[in-house]
Every structure is written in C-alpha cells, then in structure tokens.
Structure 1
Amino acid sequence: MSSWDLWWWVILPYLALLTFVVGHVWRWRYDQFGWTSRSTQLQEGPLLKWGGPLFHYGTFAAIAGHVLGILIPESFTRWMGVPENAYRWFSSVAGTIAALGVIAGVVILAFRRTAVPRVRATTSPVDWLALLLLLVVIVLGIIPTIGINLLGAGYDYRMSVALWFRGLFSGSPDVAAIAHAPLIYQIHATAAWAILAVWPFTRLVHAWSYPLWYLWRPYIIYRSRVAARPTEPGTSGRRWRRIGVRY
C-alpha cells in the first residue's frame, strides 16, 4: 500500500467522517435557526412541487440500494437464497429508476435555484458546491448501473468497493480492494465522502429534521366560527364550534 493510497482511501475518508459528526454537533449548538432548507413555497411553488418529491424519494431509494449493495455482504444474500443474477438484475433496474428520479429532481431544483431570484439569493457558495458534488455522485453512480451492470457483464463492486467501505467502520479498510477498482467507482466514492465533509455546513442538514414527533403530538383545541341557524331568536348570527387539530 503506497502512501498515496493510505492518504486517499484511509486518512481522508476518516477526516470526512469526523467532519460530518463534529460539524453537525457544532451546527446544532450554534446555528439551530439555520437548520433549514431556507427554501419554501413562499419563494416559488410549481418547480418545488415536482422537484422536491422526485429528489427526496429518489434519494431515499438510492440510499436503500446502497445499504443493500454495500453494507450487506454478498454472503448474506446468498444465505437468503437470492441468486446473484437476480440480485444484479433487481439492483440495476431499481437503481436506474431511483437515479433517474434523483437526476430529474436535481435538474428541476438546480434550475429553480438558478432561475428564481428569491431562491438564488438564499443559496450560499457551499450550497452550490454540495449541489455539484451531488451531480457528480449521481451521474457516476448511474453510468456503471446502466452501462456496466445492466447492459454489460457487470463489475462485482460488492467484492471490492463494499469491502473497503465496510472496513472503514470496522477500523480495517481494504485499501487494495478500492485501489484496484475501476476509475469511475473511485471517483464516485471520492465525491461521496466529499459530500459527507461539506454536509454539516450546507442546507442538507434539514434532512435530519423530519418531524416524526408530529405523529404523536396531542391535539390542540381551538374555536372556529360557523353560521348560526336563523330560527334561533336573539342570536348574533354566529355560533362557535370546538375543533381538535394537530399543530
């Protein structure tokens, strides 16, 4: 293992992970009011209506596919009785659909940030950097998915890239596995941990603010006015009704 491989595939990924954790802690302690996407329908609605769901749902599907393909060993799917050909076909088709959704969402949202002055004014340089890195990760992820795994013989990334990635969390990353992987996988992995490094300092932090607490928040009682029946003498024409809603 050369010093370059040690620096690129061990030291820098750990620095990115450390920055990811410490950066989020710092951001939460000192910038809670900035813990938002800073982009709402008040600034622009139609593009956000289509771009937001495409990007978010496509991203969730892509993350689920990476968990299945990288974090879960091949021996586990073999133990589950999933044939390798079936696994490759399913991962390629599902990954392609997810990637197309993410690309469509990113293109719409990027156009929104570029073309709408009010949205563009709320976008910082580090947000543009994160958007560029996202595009690199997405494009370099879908090319091998379609061009190699779906149309060609395929490359078994679970026996190379996955070994290195899982090794980062166990303290023994397999540098040789990622160093001998195709260049497109190496750039894809590099852009991925670069996103982790800049994530805490961008609007991407709002991904952790999904309001799950809203599901079990108690109802709040408020009053709304409705028209009273005209047959009631001496009424003011209105009466009150108690309605319980979540707030």
Structure 2
Amino acid sequence: MNMIDQFLWVIFPYMSLVIFIVGHIFRYRNDQFNWTAKSSEFIEKKQLMIGSLLFHLGIIPVIFGHISGLLIPKSWMHAFGVEDHIYHIGAVYIGGFFGVLTLLGMLILTARRFTLRNVRRLSSVSDMAVNVMLLVIVIMGMYATLVTNAVQPEFDYRETISVWFRGLFMFSPDASLMKDVPLSFKMHILMGFAIFVFWPFSRLVHVWSVPLNYINRRYILYRRHKSN
C-alpha cells in the first residue's frame, strides 16, 4: 500500500476523530453562547417542517443501519440466523427506503437555504457548507446502496469496509482492505469523516443540545392579571 492509501484509510480517520473530540471540548469551553443553531423558522415554516421531518425520519434508521452493518461481524449475523440474502434485502430495500426519505429531506432543506433570500441572508458560510456536505454524503450513500450494489452484486462491504472500520477501534487498521472497494463507497466514507472534522466548528453541535431537562421541568402557569 502506498502513502496515499495509508493517509486516507489510517491517518485521516484518526485525525478526524481527534479533531471531532478536541474541537467539541474547545468550543464548549470557549463558545457556549453560539452553541445552538440559529432558527430560521420565523422566516419560513412549511419547507422547514417537511424537510426536517423527512430528514429525521430517515436519518435515525439509517444511522442504526450503519452501526449494525459496520460493527456487527458477518459471522454473528449468521449465528443469529440472518443469512446473506435476507441481510442484502434489508440493507437495499429497507435501507434504501429510509435513505430516500433522508435524501428528500436534505434536498428540501438545502433548496430552502439557498433559494429563499431571507433564509440565505441569515445563514453563515458554515451553514451553507454543512448543507452541501450532508447532501453529498447522502447522495453518495444512496448511489452506493442502489446503484453500486446492483452493478457489482459480488461486492460485500461486510468483508472489507466493516472489517477495516472495526480495526480502527482496535488500533489495528488494515488499509489494504480498502484497495478494491468501489469508488462510491470510498467517497461516502471519506465525506463522512470530513464532516467529523467540520462538525465542532459548525451548527451541527446543536445535535448534542437535546433539551432532556424539559421532560421533568414543572409546568409554567400563566394567570390573567385582574385590573383594579
């Protein structure tokens, strides 16, 4: 393996994760005031509601699908009675369905941010870049799932990408496993790690600001003031 492969599949992933962790710590300590994302709901609601709903309905199952496909070894699936054909149907059709929802949501949200003048004026360069990067990641993921898997049915990412990915967390990554991986999968992976680099310095940090404390917070009572 040459130095480019070593950088792309060993150095860059670790570098991305380090920047992701350290960047979040730095920003939280130095820029908590701007931690949350700017809301543009008061400018336009309909497209935001539809796009956000589609995106979140799609992205959550997609994330869980990625976790199971990358972290659970193929032999474990066989042990639980999940044969390759069944897994393939689930990954392509079920994963493809939720991928389409995610893609539609991202298309609506990206078009909204770029085409509506007031929303665009409220957006920073970082906001625009995040939308474009996420859209490209989703497009490449859909292309890899629906097109590459159909054109190269013999390729099984669980024997290459998944093994390489698990090797990263065991500090024994094997870059040679990525040598014959189709280009669409490689681009999807590299863009995914690139978003990790960008994440701490963008509006994506608001993902960690889930207002769970609202669940147990007391109700706020409003009483009408009786004038004398």
Q: In proportion to residue count, which structure has more helix?
A: 2
Separation (CA, whole Å) in 2 of partners of 1:205 and 1:220: 28
Q: Which of these two proteins has the greater Rg computed from alpha carbons?
A: 1
Deviation at 1:43, TM superposition (A): 2.0
In the comparison of the two structures, how many residue pairs are matched?
Answer: 228
Q: TM-score, normalised by structure 1?
A: 0.85
Residues 157-184 of structure 1, C-alpha deviations (whole Å, 9 max, x = no match) = 0110111111111111121111221111
Structure 2 counterparts to residues 186-201 of structure 1, below 5 A: 186-201=186-201
Structure 2 counterparts to residues 134-153 of structure 1, below 5 A: 134-149=134-149, 153=153
Q: Structure 1 pair 9/152, CA: closer, same or farther in 2 (3 Å)?
A: closer
RMSD over aligned Cα atoms = 2.1
Separation (CA, whole Å) in 1 of partners of 2:54 and 2:31: 28
Separation (CA, whole Å) in 2 of partners of 1:75 and 1:148: 23
Q: Among the aligned pairs, what percent are the same residue?
A: 39
1:58 aligned onto 2:58: yes
Question: Which one scores higher on RCO, CA 8 angstroms, separation ≥ 6?
Answer: 2
Separation (CA, whole Å) in 2 of partners of 1:163 and 1:87: 17
Bigger CA drift: 90-99 or 116-125? 116-125
Q: In proportion to residue count, which structure has more strand?
A: 1
Task: List gaps (5 residues or longer) in structure 2.
Answer: none
Bigger CA drift: 36-45 or 80-89? 36-45
Q: Which amino acid aligns with 2:147?
A: G
Q: Structure 1 pair 80/224, CA: closer, same or farther in 2 (3 Å)?
A: farther
1:7 aligned onto 2:13: no
Instruction: Assess if the C-alpha contact under 8 Å between 2:41 and 2:48 holds in 1.
Output: yes
Instruction: Assess if the C-alpha contact under 8 Å between 2:20 and 2:200 holds in 1.
Output: yes
Instruction: Assess if the C-alpha contact under 8 Å between 1:10 and 1:175 holds in 2.
Output: yes
1:82 aligned onto 2:67: no
Deviation at 1:221, TM superposition (A): 4.1
Bigger CA drift: 83-92 or 145-154? 145-154
Bigger CA drift: 50-59 or 33-42? 33-42
Instruction: Assess if the C-alpha contact under 8 Å between 2:40 and 2:122 holds in 1.
Output: no
Q: Which amino acid aligns with 1:4?
A: I
Residues 86-112 of structure 1, C-alpha deviations (whole Å, 9 max, x = no match) = 111011112111111111111111111
